[in-house]
Amino acid sequence: MAVIAGSIVSYGQAVKTYIDKNKILIGEHIRFEIKVNLAASNYRVDFGIPDSISHFEVIDQGKYDTTDADGIYTMRQTILFTSFDSGVWKFPSFPVTISAPGQASKAFYSDSVLIQVGYSPADSTNELRDIKPVMDVFVVDRTWIYYAVGALILLILIYLLYRYFKTRKKKRREGAS
């Protein structure tokens, strides 16, 4: 991994950020890691990673990982993300709040990183080809069904109107006599 951001040191704490690449193809994954080195284990660390980041899709926020090596406690958070927007985008800085019991908390920020997102280069040396060959499709013309149903409905409507007017004339004649 390439170290992109520097470290901030204060009272034995150091915040570092790592990113595995800063140039990707659309949809390719990037692994971003925030690492905090602490002098004691009684510190509380809060990685302020937002739910959404403009131009980026968060795929996975790994669990917090804590290790102890020679009295130095290391906490790390790994984020896996991608982008579907081509261009150069700024991956923002995140607040990392470190607090110890009985002391005021201190906020540190990871460095922001520029990520270049692009398309895969087109092979202009060869002729363009279809993704799949064109297939013949057998289409059944069933429009006659719609005409038949429409004609049937029209005949039923004419029959009902005929019966209505015929019975109406009979009632009128019987009522007049």
84-114 pLDDT per residue, tens = 999 999 988 888 888 887 888 888 888 888 9
For the domain 2-118, what is the CATH code? 2.60.40.10
Which among 57, 115, 106, 113 is positioned nearest to 81, based on CA atoms? Answer: 57
Report the share of the chain in percent with pLDDT over 70: 90
Identify the pLDDT of residue 176: 66
Domains of the chain: which residue ranges? Answer: 2-118, 142-177
Q: Is the pLDDT of residue 82 over 50?
A: yes
pTM score of the predicted model? 0.57
Q: What is the pLDDT of residues 110-147, one digit of tens each?
A: 888 899 999 988 777 777 776 887 788 998 899 999 99
